[in-house]
Amino acid sequence: MTTQKLKDRVAIITGSGGGLGAECARVLAEHGANIVIVDINEQAASSVAAEIEAGGVQALAIRTDVSSEEDVKAMVAQVMARFGRIDVLHNNAAVLDVDQRQRDRDICNLDMDAWDRAIAVNLRGAVLCSKHVIPVMLKQGKGSVIFATSGLGAQGDLSLTGYATSKAALNMLPKLVAAQYGKQGVRGNAVQIGLAPAENAHASMPSELLDILRDNHLTPELGTPRQIADVVAFLASDESSFVTGTTLVADGGFGSHTPSLVAMRAFFEQSGRGGM
Ligand SMILES: NC(=O)c1ccc[n+]([C@@H]2O[C@H](COP(=O)([O-])OP(=O)(O)OC[C@H]3O[C@@H](n4cnc5c(N)ncnc54)[C@H](O)[C@@H]3O)[C@@H](O)[C@H]2O)c1
């Protein structure tokens, strides 16, 4: 992997006041990009920006609610005033706090405010940021737009109905970006993220649940924020210049195997016919 592959580029990362977004900010900064930390949590955004500036690149923290068009417009104007260009937009922000997760349940028990919030932040937010950033990229004749999706947007699960639906819809957006603006140099891709525990989202998960998830990975361990950020850095850079309109799956094989694999592995181990 090359280093400094994003030297002097300007990257906006939404929801980068913490979790995977903050790790993406650190890794893109390591590759030389100047970073715009966009988050609804101003204090968190400022603290990540200060950490990144200490590494020698420029960082700008902007408090933005990505579901508000007014906020997004003002954010893009502020970025242009400071840097005069935007090379990368990573649509990473999602509403995932404990309260939201407890209310965004199965369809029969779904709190419709939680549904509306999931769609507004995760989906509308990504569309709004793309709507206001892509015109800048079109003027430059180049840009990379990335969307953070999830395995929950591809396979059914017991809860998180609004979250899953918003993530499923996000898989369509890279195809639209690629089809609509590809000839003018703008690429669109998504990263379908598996479990890569970050401090906010999974702190409350019992270890038994994490064990079940680990058993279903085809890698020795669950993913890390760094492994996701490396994929984002690839999609942000010219290393992926022939990759557009697609969803790259970074999930340790979680979504790649037969539903019976874990039970079969246990069966073979117990019957002494050799584990795999
Ligand atoms: N962590 C994982 O294992 C995992 C798995 C699959 C997908 N993902 C996806 O990766 C992305 C990051 O996940 P995470 O685990 O780091 O989540 P997180 O909750 O740690 O971070 C989300 C960030 O978004 C910010 N945010 C929330 N609402 C916002 C709004 N309206 N405007 C601007 N910012 C807002 C939050 O303040 C927070 O800093 C999400 O899109 C998530 O769906 C994560």
pLDDT for residue 199 is more than 60? no
Return d(Cα 184, Cα 250) in angstroms, integer.
28
Using alpha carbons, list the distances in angstroms from residue 56 to 44, 79, 169, 196, 197.
19, 18, 37, 27, 28
Ligand 1 mean position to 142 CA, how many Å?
26
Residue 201 pLDDT: 52
Q: How far is the CA of 35 from the centre of ligand 1 (A)?
A: 17
Strands 186-193 and 246-250, sheet pairing: parallel
The total number of residues written for the chain in this structure: 276
Q: Is 96 in the pocket of ligand 1 (CB under 6 A)?
A: yes
pLDDT digits (tens, 9 = 90+) for 160-189: 999 999 999 999 999 999 999 999 999 999
Atom of ligand 1 nearest to the CA of 16: 39
Task: Give dist(CA 16, CA 59) in Å, integer.
Answer: 12
Residue 35 β-bridge partners: 11, 59
Report whether residue 200 contacts ligand 1, using a CB cutoff of 6 Å: yes
The protein residue whose alpha carbon is closest to atom 27 in ligand 1 is 95
pLDDT in tens, 120-167: 999 999 999 999 999 999 999 999 999 999 999 999 999 999 999 999
Give me the residue label for tokens 């270890």: 207
Give residue 253 CA to ligand 1 midpoint distance, Å: 22
DSSP string, the chain: --SSTTTT-EEEEETTTSHHHHHHHHHHHHTT-EEEEEES-HHHHHHHHHHHHTTTS-EEEEE--TT-HHHHHHHHHHHHHHHS---EEEE------HHHHHHS--GGG--HHHHHHHIIIIIIHHHHHHHHHHHHHHHHT-EEEEEEEEGGGTS--SS-HHHHHHHHHHTTHHHHHHHHHGGGTEEEEEEEE-----TTTSTT--HHHHHHHHHT-SSSS---HHHHHHHHHHHHSGGGTT--SEEEEESTTTTTS-TTHHHHHHHHHHTTS---
Task: Kindly indicate the confidence band of residue 3, based on its pLDDT and cuts at 50, 70 and 90.
Answer: confident
Q: Give the CATH fold of the 10-205+219-253 domain.
A: Rossmann fold (3.40.50)
The Cα 168–Cα 240 span in angstroms is 23
Burial per residue of 106-124, b for 16 or more beta-carbon CB atoms within 10 angstroms, e otherwise: eeeebbeebbebbbbbbbb
Nearest CA to ligand 1 atom 2: 196
Q: Is 12 in the pocket of ligand 1 (CB under 6 A)?
A: no
Using CA atoms, how far apart are residues 120 and 217, in angstroms rounded to an integer? 31
For all residues of the chain together, what is the average pLDDT?
Answer: 95
- Could you give the residue numbers annotated as active site? 163
Where residue 1 falls among pLDDT bands split at 50, 70, 90?
Answer: low
Domain locations along the chain: 10-205+219-253
pLDDT class for 276, splitting at 50, 70, 90? low
From the CA of 50, how far away is ligand 1's center (Å)? 20
Across 234-257, average pLDDT: 97
pLDDT digits (tens, 9 = 90+) for 36-90: 999 999 999 999 999 999 999 999 999 999 999 999 999 999 999 999 999 999 9
Determine whether the shortest distance from the Cβ of 144 to ligand 1 is under 6 A: no
What pLDDT sits at residue 239?
A: 98
Residue 209 pLDDT: 87
Query: CB of 228 within 8 A of CB of 193?
Result: yes
Percent of the chain with pLDDT over 70: 96
pLDDT over threshold 60, residue 200? no
Task: Write the residue with the smallest CA distance to atom 19 of ligand 1.
Answer: 96
For residue 272, what are its two tokens?
């002494």
Verify whether ligand 1 is closer than 6 Å to residue 94 (CB atom). Answer: yes
Substitution candidate for ligand 1 out of 91, 121, 193 with most atoms within 8 A of CB = 193
Nearest CA to ligand 1 atom 29: 40
Amino acid at 55: G
pLDDT at 141: 98
Predicted pLDDT of residue 202: 58
Question: What pLDDT, on a 0 to 100 scale, did the predictor assign at position 210?
Answer: 86
Picking from 91, 68, 74, 73, the residue whose alpha carbon sits closest to that of residue 11 is: 91
